Amino acid sequence: MTDELYETSSSSDASFRLLSVRVCVVGSGYKVSQLASLSEGETLMVGGKEVEVMGIISAEDFAKGRCFQEVQAEQESVSHARSAPPPFRRVTPKPFCPPAMSGNAEHRAPRPEEEHTYKPRHDPLSSDLCGGGVDLFSGALVMPRPSANHQWSNNKSGLPLVDVVVDPHLTTHLRPHQRDGLLFLYECVMGMRVVGRYGAILADEMGLGKTLQSVALIWTLLKQGPYGGKPVAKRVLVVTPGSLVQNWSAEFNKWLGCERIKVFTFVISPLHSFTSLNRLSFQVQKVQFGLVICDEGHRLKNSNIKTSLAINSLSCNRRVILTGTPVQNDLQEFYAIIEFVNPGILGSSTGYRKVYEEPILRSRQPSCKRAAELSRLTGMFILRRTQEIINRYLPPRLDWTLFCEPSTLQQELYTQLLCHRVFRACLQGSTQTHTHLACITALKKLCNHPALSIYEGLVDVFPESYSSGTFNAADSGKLLVLSDLLAAIRQLSPSDRVVVVSNYTQTLDMLQDLCAHAGYTFCRLDGQTPTSQRQRLVDSFNSPYSQNFLFLLSSKAGGVGLNLIGASHLVLYDIDWNPANDIQAMARVWRDGQKKTVHIYRLLTAGTIEERIFQRQVSKQGLSGTVVDLGKGTEHASFSISELRDLFSLSDTPCLTHDLLNCDCSLDGTVNGRFTCVPYSKVLDTHTHTLILWRHFSGDTHTFSDPYLDLARNHITFAFQTTISHATQ
């Protein structure tokens, strides 16, 4: 056994509050029977210090980890949109003072010259002034009034309470979920949800308007405050990836106009990229900021990187992180972003690992009590909404997952690669992780096109006559499907445009050659595209006068806010281990501003590693599911031998995924002649839409009901299809 002592407070008499003790009986130490008989108020010596037993920890509190917390919340069960008033805190009575000299605003009437100062900046009309809310007739959005406890600790000057009303210029653009998000952010940064904590994480999925909610929060804090109407912040710092700096500047101008707010993006500026902040950290530290907002805040997952250190050095408690992926690879990264917004709320890194991380990883179940408690605790200042919220405002979306038949050359090369000495070494227990990843990448690129997988050491598996300098569409099943699909779209809907997304620059080179051969006009955005040109490319493509038929996009570039609503078709050419990346890519065209029905096509090579990655995406729950939002997957960092054997295999079946379902469908989109849901439908879609109807099609069926896929039918072995529309909301 080991001993473990958690201490939360100390005083001069070396008395401690005992939260949890596991004592190892060594030599003349305490016997278990002695410890079991301890009662409240008794003391014992531990490590030369006197320890008093303050109370008994219930089994439930220990299982959940609550006994290790020191967080005082404004309410025990916090909803995402509103917090109930906390219990009144008893304070020591102060000597009576005449009202005229009192600092308490409740006893001092404002002087005539002050009356105009203590009025709301905007007319709240008939809104609920006490609880905060939206008036159905006026549309005014009024922030919640601070509680008695909050006034006692934050209004030392005794200023009168003034209602904070969001600028109507912004309110008219806010949708209901964005209003709720703004209320949540305001409560967090004002310290109304967790006592003494002023941080928040807005973890909405892509397309829900995190930027607009942030702009509204910034503008509100710069102009208003609850105590005497004094602004909460004088300056605000926005830190964002370099590719999104101009996007943010444009968003401020879009929603507020140049005449309302001035945005600086140079020298010592309120709007910085991560890189420039590192360079200018010394100068930035000299500026007092009332609020710091970090876009794509999951990049701060390591608290020791320069960016994290630079931001943490700022003397600003009000911190907001914007991220669509709050949990990506491990719970230590989650701890890092929590520690950034609310330092110390989860204790030390070591304590967090023992109390939460290790029990959660051992359990790996959403019902794990420590995971539930961590979710409850962090849920006080983390708001996560999925795209389901905004679907009702968007046109219908048709999703296709297409299993493409590998070409004869792909099948032969795939089989030979699996027999190659490098692959055999992996299956025989090689511990070289880079070798495993190289083999996986080789198979994934072979699925895209054989010419992409020619590596030094693997050349011997290719025919001597094979040339890697040209991309023959007939050598790749997916490329044949894409070629036929693009030809059909061009023929049937000449005004429609298409976004094609890939993880690999080499694949984009191949697709660029395809465009040149077919005569398609296109533009391309990848990691080599200068930051200054990216938004210009996007704006040009989205213009109704654009002459480009295709937009070739690297999934690794562009930033979360990339909006390509000029297209109504999107093809995800290859799959990513992390489903969040695929979700982000597929959401590029189906978002605010889209007017046409959207068609999404995900291409997978049947029977290969791509299909197995797809199965892992939709069937395994990852860390994000146990902590932030149930049902999300995560990226695999390592593989067991059995997992590698499964990955390094080739199945001779139209669709291994469908085979595993034991489905009784008729392979024509119906079961017994009727469209119906199957149990798999709820996990097949990573958004977990509860009413989505997935249909199953065999490749040789003639009921695809999608004219764009008619030409490609001969190269498709199987298909899953669903429609997201107003009828399914």
Q: Choose between 535 and 188: higher pLDDT.
A: 188
C-alpha of 691 from chain center: 23
For residue 42, the model assigns a pLDDT of 80
The pLDDT-based confidence of 432 (bands split at 50, 70, 90) is: low
- The CATH number of residue 327's host domain is 3.40.50.10810
Return the half-sphere exposure (C-beta side, CA atoms, 13 A cut-off) of residue 403: 29
Q: What is the DSSP letter of 659?
A: H
User: Could you tell me which of 589, 584, 563 has the C-alpha nearest to residue 686?
Assistant: 584
Q: Choose between 539 and 615: higher pLDDT.
A: 539
Mean pLDDT of 62-68: 73
C-alpha of 339 from chain center: 17
In angstroms, the CA 589 to CA 564 distance is 5
Lowest mean pLDDT among 212-226, 311-325, 634-648: 634-648
In angstroms, the CA 491 to CA 505 distance is 28
DSSP sequence for 671-690: BTTB----TTHHHHSTT--T
Q: What range does the domain containing 310 cover?
A: 174-385
Say yes or no: 367 and 352 in one domain: yes
For residue 476, the model assigns a pLDDT of 94
Say yes or no: 454 and 353 in one domain: no
In angstroms, the CA 412 to CA 348 distance is 54
The reply to whether 85 falls in a domain is no
Mean pLDDT of 286-304: 75
| Pairing mode of beta strands 291-295, 569-572 | unpaired
Say yes or no: 267 and 398 in one domain: no
549 and 521 in contact (C-beta within 8 Å)? yes
| pLDDT tens-digit readout, 666-700 | 777 665 444 444 433 333 333 333 323 578 888 77
Lowest mean pLDDT among 35-44, 153-162, 469-478, 662-671: 662-671
Q: Choose between 326 and 229: higher pLDDT.
A: 229
Domain count, the chain: 3
User: Which range, 106-120, 174-188, 295-309, 518-532, is most confident?
Assistant: 174-188
Q: Is the pLDDT assigned to residue 469 strictly greater than 50?
A: yes
Q: Which of 322, 356, 385 is the last residue of a domain?
A: 385
For residue 572, the model assigns a pLDDT of 95
Return the half-sphere exposure (C-beta side, CA atoms, 13 A cut-off) of residue 629: 21
19 and 67 in contact (C-beta within 8 Å)? yes
The reply to whether 213 falls in a domain is yes
The pLDDT-based confidence of 188 (bands split at 50, 70, 90) is: very high
The pLDDT-based confidence of 186 (bands split at 50, 70, 90) is: very high
Return the half-sphere exposure (C-beta side, CA atoms, 13 A cut-off) of residue 54: 14
Say yes or no: 314 and 395 in one domain: no
User: Which range, 105-114, 297-306, 707-716, is most confident?
Assistant: 707-716
Say yes or no: 240 and 292 in one domain: yes
Q: Which of 355, 385, 415 is the last residue of a domain?
A: 385
Q: Which residue type, as a one-letter code, is found at position 82?
A: R
In angstroms, the CA 148 to CA 613 distance is 53
143 and 183 in contact (C-beta within 8 Å)? yes
Q: What is the DSSP letter of 73?
A: B
Say yes or no: 325 and 411 in one domain: no
Say yes or no: 360 and 395 in one domain: no
- The CATH number of residue 404's host domain is 3.40.50.300
Distances (CA, A) of 514 to 45, 454, 470, 498, 555: 78, 19, 10, 14, 19
Q: Is the pLDDT assigned to residue 320 strictly greater than 90?
A: yes
For residue 307, the model assigns a pLDDT of 63
Share above pLDDT 70 across residues of the chain, in percent, rounded to a whole number: 70
Say yes or no: 443 and 378 in one domain: no
225 and 164 in contact (C-beta within 8 Å)? yes
The pLDDT-based confidence of 558 (bands split at 50, 70, 90) is: low
DSSP sequence for 263-317: ---SSS-SEEEHHHHHHTHHHHTTS--SEEEEETGGGG-STTSHHHHHHHTS---
The reply to whether 553 falls in a domain is yes
The reply to whether 131 falls in a domain is no
| pLDDT tens-digit readout, 483-496 | 999 999 999 999 99
- Number of Cβ within 10 Å of residue 433's Cβ equals 12
Give the chain's mean pLDDT: 76
Say yes or no: 415 and 357 in one domain: no
| pLDDT tens-digit readout, 89-118 | 333 444 444 443 334 444 445 555 555 567
The pLDDT-based confidence of 701 (bands split at 50, 70, 90) is: low
The reply to whether 133 falls in a domain is no
The reply to whether 523 falls in a domain is yes
Q: Which of 385, 402, 420 is the last residue of a domain?
A: 385
Rg (CA), the chain: 29
The reply to whether 591 falls in a domain is yes
Q: What is the DSSP letter of 660?
A: T
Say yes or no: 333 and 421 in one domain: no
For residue 631, what are its two tokens?
């049902």
Q: What is the DSSP letter of 243?
A: G
Q: What's the longest Cα–Cα distance across the chain? A: 100
The reply to whether 254 falls in a domain is yes
Q: Edge-to-edge strand order for the sheet containing 271-273?
A: 271-273, 236-240, 291-295, 319-322, 199-202, 382-383
- Number of Cβ within 10 Å of residue 33's Cβ equals 7
| pLDDT tens-digit readout, 383-423 | 998 878 888 888 999 999 999 999 999 998 899 888 888 88
618 and 664 in contact (C-beta within 8 Å)? no
Say yes or no: 615 and 704 in one domain: yes
Q: DSSP 3-state assignment of 262?
A: coil
Mean pLDDT of 439-449: 91
Q: What is the pTM of this model?
A: 0.71
C-alpha of 628 from chain center: 9
Say yes or no: 546 and 600 in one domain: yes
- Residue 2: exposure state from Cβ atoms within 10 A (0-12, 13-18, ≥19): exposed
Mean pLDDT of 127-138: 44
- Number of Cβ within 10 Å of residue 400's Cβ equals 22
Q: What is the dihedral of CA 331, 335, 338, 340, to 10 degrees?
A: -140
Distances (CA, A) of 132 to 163, 183, 231: 9, 8, 18
For residue 328, the model assigns a pLDDT of 52
